[in-house]
């Protein structure tokens, strides 16, 4: 019998990237300027990636939909000395949340081997249904809302009126909200942040049981990377919200009827997902400035080992840092 050295956990390098973005953008909390907070995060994230030993390409950038500063699709990142990786980024997931000081703004990076991530192309929006692993086999994207919620409740050992559903507070969801209320389930309405919503639906010890509704397609791929690690399912279908988006998807050959699973969105298990809280919320505390430094809270997930780390980092303004990490699952 012989021992073998473990592979390097690149997630522990990526957490420094999301920490840097969170620290930079948190200075803009509640100041009403979405683009300034986003730009601060993008600049910090781009600089931090120069120290990560990967041959990385951004396959899912951020900003195009909102005309914000971006790490653009196709941008080469990393030192070039490591493995060839696809990288999905959202330096501030929930720019409005940050700008108005609302909960659940986070900085997010996901990574997988080259070619493993679904390319959303011109698809900005996707209909999604995310549940924890206990309810994986209970959901059908085409089933009526009430049927899905009744089956989810049974799978979780709850009554329907025990359930809490995460829904983005958008005009397009008026019918969905009505259907959820008719069956008796409860709702958390959020203005933004459907990566956080999907995570809350699949992680233990949160107040959310399921996420429903149409959100961002790039955010769907980011969330799928995390769900690959912790278990659960997210079903999705491209859901264009304008004729221009629909025509662009058809011209590019996308099947608007196809139901996508987590495995379709991110292939294989060699995946990393990292998120750092910015404004604080249901599952990640935000950046706390102490006067002499700052404290950040992050999740670091690795698919190969199923490892999820909660990382609390203490940053001092003279660039010293102490990290304490708690492993679970």
CATH number of the domain at 95, please.
3.30.540.10
The answer to whether position 5 is within a domain reads: no
Q: Please tell me whether 158 is known to bind a ligand.
A: no
Q: Please tell me whether 263 is known to bind a ligand.
A: no
Q: Please tell me whether 90 is known to bind a ligand.
A: yes
pLDDT tier, 205 (very low <50, low <70, confident <90, very high otherwise): confident
Separation of alpha carbons 327 and 329, rounded Å: 7
On whether both 149 and 20 belong to a single domain, the answer is: no
Query: What is the model's pLDDT at position 2?
Result: 44
The two structure tokens encoding residue 109: 């990076």
Q: Which residue has the tokens 């980092």?
A: 313
pLDDT for residue 4 is more than 70: no
Q: Please tell me whether 93 is known to bind a ligand.
A: yes
Residue 111, C-beta contacts closer than 8 angstroms, at least 6 positions apart: 10, 14, 54, 56, 85, 86, 87, 88, 225, 271, 272, 273
Separation of alpha carbons 145 and 151, rounded Å: 10
Contact 175, 199 (CB under 8 A): no
**What's the mean pLDDT when you consider all of the chain?**
91
Q: Please tell me whether 186 is known to bind a ligand.
A: no
Query: What is the model's pLDDT at position 281?
Result: 87
The pLDDT tens digits for 12-52 are 899 999 999 999 999 999 999 999 999 999 999 999 999 99
Q: Please tell me whether 233 is known to bind a ligand.
A: no
Query: What is the model's pLDDT at position 124?
Result: 94
pLDDT tier, 320 (very low <50, low <70, confident <90, very high otherwise): very low
pLDDT for residue 66 is more than 80: no
The pLDDT tens digits for 132-148 are 999 999 999 999 999 99
The arithmetic mean of pLDDT across residues 169-173, rounded, is: 97
pLDDT for residue 98 is more than 80: yes
Q: Please tell me whether 64 is known to bind a ligand.
A: no
Q: Please tell me whether 193 is known to bind a ligand.
A: yes
The answer to whether position 199 is within a domain reads: yes
* CA neighbor of 228 nearest in space, from 120, 98, 136: 136
pLDDT for residue 1 is more than 50: no
The residue count for the chain: 329
Query: What is the model's pLDDT at position 14?
Result: 95
pLDDT for residue 314 is more than 60: yes
On whether both 136 and 165 belong to a single domain, the answer is: yes
Q: Please tell me whether 170 is known to bind a ligand.
A: yes
pLDDT tier, 282 (very low <50, low <70, confident <90, very high otherwise): confident
Range of the domain at 105: 10-114+270-321
Number of independent structural domains in the chain: 2
Query: What is the model's pLDDT at position 62?
Result: 62
Q: Please tell me whether 171 is known to bind a ligand.
A: yes
pTM of the complete model: 0.91
On whether both 139 and 237 belong to a single domain, the answer is: yes
pLDDT for residue 115 is more than 90: yes
pLDDT tier, 158 (very low <50, low <70, confident <90, very high otherwise): very high
On whether both 145 and 235 belong to a single domain, the answer is: yes
On whether both 133 and 256 belong to a single domain, the answer is: yes
Q: Please tell me whether 219 is known to bind a ligand.
A: yes
């Amino acid at each position: 019998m012989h021992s073998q050295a473990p592979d390097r956990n690149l997630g522990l390098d990526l957490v420094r990237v999301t920490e840097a973005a969170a620290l930079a953008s948190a200075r803009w909390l509640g100041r009403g300027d979405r683009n300034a907070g986003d730009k601060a995060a993008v600049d910090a994230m781009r600089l931090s990636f120069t120290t990560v030993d990967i041959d990385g390409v951004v396959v899912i950038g951020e900003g195009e939909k909102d005309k914000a500063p971006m790490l653009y699709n196709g941008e080469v990142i990393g030192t070039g000395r490591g493995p060839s990786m696809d990288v999905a980024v959202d330096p501030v997931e929930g720019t409005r949340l940050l700008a108005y000081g609302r909960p659940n703004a986070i900085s997010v990076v996901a990574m997988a081997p080259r070619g493993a991530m679904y390319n959303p192309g011109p698809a900005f929006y996707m209909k999604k249904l995310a549940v924890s692993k206990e309810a994986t086999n209970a959901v059908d994207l085409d089933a009526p809302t009430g049927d899905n919620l009744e089956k989810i409740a049974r799978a979780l050992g709850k009554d329907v009126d025990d359930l809490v559903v995460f829904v983005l507070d958008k005009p397009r969801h008026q019918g969905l909200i009505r259907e959820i209320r008719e069956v008796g389930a409860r709702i958390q309405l959020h203005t933004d942040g459907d990566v956080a919503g999907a995570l809350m639906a699949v992680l233990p010890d949160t107040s959310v049981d399921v996420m429903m509704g149409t959100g961002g397609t790039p955010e769907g791929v980011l969330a799928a990377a995390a769900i690959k690690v912790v278990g659960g399912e997210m079903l999705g279908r491209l859901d264009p919200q304008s004729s221009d988006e629909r025509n662009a998807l058809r011209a590019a050959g996308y099947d608007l009827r196809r139901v996508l699973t987590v495995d379709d969105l991110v292939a294989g298990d060699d995946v990393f997902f990292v998120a750092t809280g910015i404004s604080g919320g249901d599952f990640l505390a935000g950046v706390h400035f102490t006067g002499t430094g700052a404290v950040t809270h992050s999740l670091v997930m690795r698919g190969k080992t199923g490892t999820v780390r909660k990382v609390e980092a203490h940053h001092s303004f003279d660039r010293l840092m102490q990290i304490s990490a708690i492993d679970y699952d």
